[in-house]
Amino acid sequence: MSEHLTSLPEATPSPRRLRLAAVIGIVLFGSIVVVGVTTRLSQAHSLRQWTDEQAIPTVVIAEPQSGNGKAPIELPAQMDAFTNAPIYARTSGYLKSWNKDIGAQVKAGELLGEIDTPDLDQQLLQGQADLASAKANAALAATTAKRWQVLRQTDPDSVSQQSVDQYNGDYAAKQAQANAAQANVERLKALKSYARLVAPFDGRVTARNTDVGALITADSSGTGTPLFTVSDTSKLRVYVRVPQVYAPSIHRGDQATLSVPEYPGKSFTAKVEADARAIAPTSGTTLVQLLVDNPDGRLLPSSYASVSFNIASDTLGLSVPAEALIFDDKGLHVATLDASDHVHFKTVTIRRDYGKTIEVGSGLAANDRVIINPSDGLVDGDEVRIAKNPEAAKPHEKS
């Protein structure tokens, strides 16, 4: 028996199922497209928003601070010995000896050194000899003139008045020559006395610029190098150049605080002694002199120091950090923020400069918000953001 295998016909999807699958595919594709477009739009919006935010500059602000009636001002100063005397040679010769070296304490009149003056010694001997000769000539002329006067009185016919006057004149001339010789001897003795170099007052030897055997040349102009320098350092004079704006606030008797770099953390009290009462046109400052006691010699003359004054202020101003000032072709001004955080520039004037802070004389209100270190690109009306860093925006302190 033969069997015939007959294959069954394959199942064919119905048109309805095909349409359903097509619809599902279209919906899926559309959903993917919508999601992708939405994501891109959201990212583009976020990027545009971030870009706009980055375009707004961030600034640090500070509020102006009011003064407290006194404002410190620190100025550089130079200290000098209360009395300073360079000792020059007034006679020539060779240094015979020196008795005091640098740092030695001396009393007034104490010998510092001595000059050997062989040339001057010979000049003095010659001058004394000339004086003796002039005195002898004057004595002879006096005797002769007296004799002629007696002859004129006893026998007027034998002696003329002209002869008497002539001998009297000769005596006067010889006496004048004797006086000149005497003055020359005194001059040479005075020069000889300068061979002894002595301290003019109590103090300390701060310089010795010679040694034994050195050739000494008389220096009457005081332009050369002194042989010794003696200084009184028990007190020091302190000289400060005070700017014109502070000059009326400093008076004689005011106290100031002095500090020097060699003693960090240590301060000394100085007292205003005098001021020049005039402004130097080249610097716009006035010279103020203070005195500071220096009994132990810790402060050194000719050294630099820093002096701090407490300046009283009758009209209290507003102070801002120095970094807030803008100086350009339009003048001096600061950048402030309004209530909507937009920039507005205000022209100001400086009343006092304290270094880190500036006291403004006009143009600023107490409730203004001042921008610190404004960028060059800021213009009036720009919108800005305030920095969130509390330390950066912390109110400043007056230095």
Residues 122 and 163 in one domain: yes
- H or E element that contains 360: strand 357-362
Q: Answer yes or no: is 185 within a domain.
A: yes
Owner of token pair 């015939």: 4
Radius of gyration of the chain (CA): 49
Same domain as 302, residue 271? yes
- Nearest-CA neighbor of 282 among 241, 237, 332, 311? 241
Tell me, yes or no, whether 307 and 351 share the same domain.
no
Domain that holds residue 138: 118-194
Strand bridging mode 111-116 / 70-87: unpaired
In a domain, 23, yes or no: no
Rounded Cα–Cα distance for residues 343 and 346 (Å) = 10
Domain assignment of residue 353, yes or no: yes
Task: Find out whether 210 and 216 touch, Cβ atoms under 8 Å.
Answer: yes
306, 241: one domain:
yes
At 122, which CATH number?
1.10.287
Model confidence pLDDT, tens digit, residues 143-162: 998 888 888 888 887 778 88
Hey, CA dihedral for 36, 40, 41, 42, is it positive or negative?
A: positive
- Tell me which long-range contacts 121-125 makes (C-beta under 8 A, separation of at least 24): 121/192, 123/188, 124/185, 124/188, 124/189, 124/192
* pTM exceeds 0.75, yes or no: no
Query: How does pLDDT run along the chain (399 residues), one tens digit per residue?
Result: 444 444 545 556 677 777 777 777 777 777 777 777 777 777 666 666 556 555 677 888 888 877 655 667 889 999 999 999 999 999 999 999 999 999 899 999 999 999 999 999 999 999 999 999 999 999 999 999 888 888 888 888 777 888 888 989 999 999 999 999 999 999 999 999 999 999 999 999 999 999 999 999 988 777 788 999 999 999 999 999 998 888 888 889 999 999 999 999 899 999 999 999 899 999 899 999 999 999 988 999 989 999 998 876 554 568 888 888 888 878 888 888 888 888 888 888 887 777 788 888 788 888 888 888 888 778 888 888 787 754 544 444 443
Among the candidates 284, 312, 340, a domain finishes at 312
Judge if 300 and 334 occupy the same domain: no
**Do 284 and 305 fall into the same domain?**
yes
* CATH of residue 291: 2.40.30.170
Domain membership flag for residue 92: no
Number of domains in the chain: 3
Evaluate whether residue 323 is within a structural domain: yes
- Of the three residues 194, 218, 242, the one that is the final residue of a domain is 194
Q: Is residue 81 part of a domain?
A: no
Whether the Cβ atoms of residue 150 and residue 117 lie closer than 8 Å to each other: no
Per DSSP bridges, beta strands 65-66 and 70-87 are unpaired
Q: What is the pLDDT of residue 393?
A: 41
What's the pLDDT score for residue 37?
A: 75
Q: Could you tell me which of 363, 240, 372 has the C-alpha nearest to residue 311? A: 240
Kindly state whether residues 306 and 321 are assigned to the same domain: no
